[in-house]
């Protein structure tokens, strides 16, 4: 079953075709990063307008890539081949929740209109849940074209090569424990099976990605802050500063606004100004070495906070697999710390003999994309009926507490 996925919940316009929730046939992502780098963060109205401009070209490119990959002899993306490509699509899925309302509307309305026009079933997908489905993608089709010189005829010929890139060895088994960490969410979720999950921890204030972005701003690092902090941290001392870890009433909940403020206060005292000093001017007073130490120390505290709670939940719920998902799951320190802690926790212990070795999703599947939307929709399609293309509404702030779609066993 081939599903066309569409994602526009924040600042990436994305479309992808995925087969049976596992094999990526195409994936196109248009990032608005260039626009928002200059503005220092996402402006919802600007994001929505950019989605409007990009959505049809992105969907068309995803269709073209998948069709060309499957038919290497074809080179002309004409109406006939477009129609054939559409005929192979079994369903259309789009992120309808949660996210920026204007952004969600563009992708959702496009997908619903296409579903009606092309007579395809439509599936409404929850963005945060879908991030987890990056862990179900096992391979990706890769189409390479090389130019070959035909010496005899003095001509160049194009040679197309199709290969398969392995993304992971196995799909995760249930029960599955997931740490979903992005710019908008920090959650721990326990799955019994597809669509049957329980949100066991979430952030009370800022998401961890948001904290990365805000701390980056304080330190004068570019947007998005996560990769910029990770890069600056490589030359810093992670133990130079200690920042408090929030104590929460529910042991699996997070809070990241305190650590962000603690970084701000420490930077202010380090450069000799009080709390009234404009934070946008702090960067001019920080040395490169100080920025590196602050980045490394903040990253250490953020990563430790996430992994402490993930390990705690692992001990209580004893899942068969652990997965990480969302933009922050691209963070190498987070991956290293999870590997260290889970190896120590499970290795050589009989009680964890059937615990699946943790496999991390490739980086290009962690940040916003439509592969995860199409994969999520495939597993949904195996359990529940399609959503009505007319009846579906976007839901900008619905939590995973309310969205499990499979209550059977
Ligand atoms: O999942 P995502 O692309 O979009 C949302 O759904 O929010 O996540 C974006 C977030 C941003 O806050 C970004 O700073 C963070 O993911 N991020 C990272 C890294 N790469 C992206 N955070 C830490 N380390 C990274 N390497
Ligand atoms: Zn996301």
Which pLDDT score is estimated for 47?
A: 92
Q: What is the pTM of this model?
A: 0.94
Q: Is the pLDDT of residue 343 over 80?
A: yes
User: What mean pLDDT, rounded, does the chain reach?
Assistant: 95
Q: pLDDT-based confidence at 409, cuts 50/70/90?
A: low
C-alpha pair distances (Å), 377 with each of 46, 83, 131, 363: 28, 23, 12, 21
Average pLDDT over residues 151-161: 84
256 within ligand 1 shell (Cβ under 6 A) = no
Q: Is the pLDDT of residue 156 over 90?
A: no
Q: What is the DSSP letter of 8?
A: -
Which pLDDT score is estimated for 143?
A: 87
Q: Is the pLDDT of residue 36 over 90?
A: no
183 within ligand 1 shell (Cβ under 6 A) = yes
Tokens of 27: 């994936």
Going by alpha carbons, the residue nearest to atom 22 of ligand 1 is 226
Which pLDDT score is estimated for 157?
A: 82
Q: Is the pLDDT of residue 398 over 60?
A: yes
Helix (H) or strand (E) segment spanning residue 51: helix 44-70
Scan for tokens 């010496």, then name that residue.
151
Work out which ligand 1 atom sits closest to the CA atom of 225.
14
Work out which ligand 1 atom sits closest to the CA atom of 12.
3
Look at residues 354, 362, 373, 407 and name the one whose alpha carbon lies nearest to residue 173.
354
Which pLDDT score is estimated for 207?
A: 96
Nearest ligand by distance to the CA of 324 = 1
Going by alpha carbons, the residue nearest to atom 18 of ligand 1 is 226
H runs (alpha helix) in 247-355 = 257-270, 288-317, 332-346
Provide the edge-to-edge strand list for the sheet that holds 176-181: 196-202, 186-193, 176-181, 321-325
Which pLDDT score is estimated for 50?
A: 94
Using CA atoms in the order 12, 101, 58, 164, what is the torsion angle rounded to 10 degrees? Answer: 60
Q: pLDDT-based confidence at 131, cuts 50/70/90?
A: very high
7 within ligand 1 shell (Cβ under 6 A) = no
C-alpha pair distances (Å), 316 with each of 20, 86, 192, 286, 319: 32, 47, 15, 43, 9
pLDDT tens-place string over residues 62-99? 999 999 999 988 889 999 999 999 999 999 999 999 99
Work out which ligand 1 atom sits closest to the CA atom of 326.
1
CA 375 – ligand 2 centroid, Å: 15
pLDDT tens-place string over residues 364-397? 999 999 999 999 999 999 999 999 999 889 999 9
C-alpha span between 170 and 176 (Å, rounded): 13
Which pLDDT score is estimated for 107?
A: 98
Please state whether the peptide bond connecting residue 224 to the residue before it is cis, i.e. omega within 30 degrees of 0.
yes
pLDDT tens-place string over residues 305-333? 999 999 999 999 999 999 999 999 999 99
CA 371 – ligand 2 centroid, Å: 12
pLDDT tens-place string over residues 206-220? 999 999 999 999 999
Q: What are phi and psi of 22, to 5 degrees?
A: -135, -35
Scan for tokens 């010189």, then name that residue.
149
Q: pLDDT-based confidence at 33, cuts 50/70/90?
A: confident
pLDDT tens-place string over residues 347-365? 999 999 999 999 999 999 9
In this structure, are residues 52 and 106 in contact, taking their beta carbons and an 8 Å threshold? yes
16-46 in b/e burial notation, b at 16+ Cβ within 10 A?
bbbbebbbbbbbbbbbbeeebeeeeebbeee
C-alpha pair distances (Å), 251 with each of 128, 245, 345: 21, 12, 19
């Amino acid at each position: 079953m081939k599903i066309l996925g569409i994602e526009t919940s924040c600042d990436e316009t994305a479309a992808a075709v995925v087969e049976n929730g596992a094999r990526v046939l195409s994936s196109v992502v248009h990032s608005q990063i260039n626009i928002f780098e200059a503005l220092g963060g996402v402006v919802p109205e600007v994001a929505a307008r950019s989605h409007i401009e990009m959505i049809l070209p992105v969907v068309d490119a995803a269709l073209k890539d998948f069709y060309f990959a499957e038919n290497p002899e074809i080179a002309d993306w004409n109406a006939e081949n477009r129609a054939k490509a559409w005929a192979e699509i079994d369903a259309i899925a789009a992120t309808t929740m949660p996210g920026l309302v204007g952004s969600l509307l563009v992708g959702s309305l496009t997908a619903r209109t296409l579903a009606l026009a092309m007579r395809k079933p439509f599936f409404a997908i929850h963005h945060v849940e879908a991030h987890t489905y990056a862990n179900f993608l096992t391979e990706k089709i890769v189409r390479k074209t090389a130019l070959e010189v035909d010496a005899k005829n003095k001509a160049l010929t194009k040679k197309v090569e199709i290969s398969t890139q392995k993304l992971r060895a196995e799909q995760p088994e249930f029960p599955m424990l997931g740490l979903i960490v992005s710019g908008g969410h920090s959650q721990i979720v326990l799955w019994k099976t597809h669509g049957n999950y329980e949100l066991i921890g979430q952030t009370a204030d800022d998401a961890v990605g948001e904290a990365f972005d805000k701390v980056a701003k304080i330190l004068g690092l570019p947007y998005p802050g996560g990769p910029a902090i990770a890069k600056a941290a490589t030359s810093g001392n992670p133990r130079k500063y200690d920042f408090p870890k929030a104590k929460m009433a529910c042991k699996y909940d997070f809070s990241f606004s305190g650590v962000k403020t603690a970084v701000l206060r420490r930077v202010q005292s380090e450069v000799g100004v009080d709390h009234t000093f404009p934070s946008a001017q702090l960067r001019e007073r920080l040395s490169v070495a100080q920025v590196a130490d602050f980045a490394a120390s903040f990253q250490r505290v953020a990563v430790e906070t996430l992994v402490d709670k993930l390990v705690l939940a692992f001990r209580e719920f004893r899942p068969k697999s652990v997965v990480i998902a969302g933009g922050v799951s691209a963070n190498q320190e987070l991956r290293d710390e999870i590997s260290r802690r889970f190896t120590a926790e499970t290795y050589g212990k009989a009680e964890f003999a059937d615990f699946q070795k943790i496999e991390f999703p490739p980086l290009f599947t962690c940040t916003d994309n439509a592969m995860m939307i199409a994969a999520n929709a495939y597993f949904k399609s195996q359990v529940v009926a399609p959503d009505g293309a007319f009846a579906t509404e976007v839901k900008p702030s619905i939590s995973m507490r309310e969205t499990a779609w499979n209550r059977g066993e």
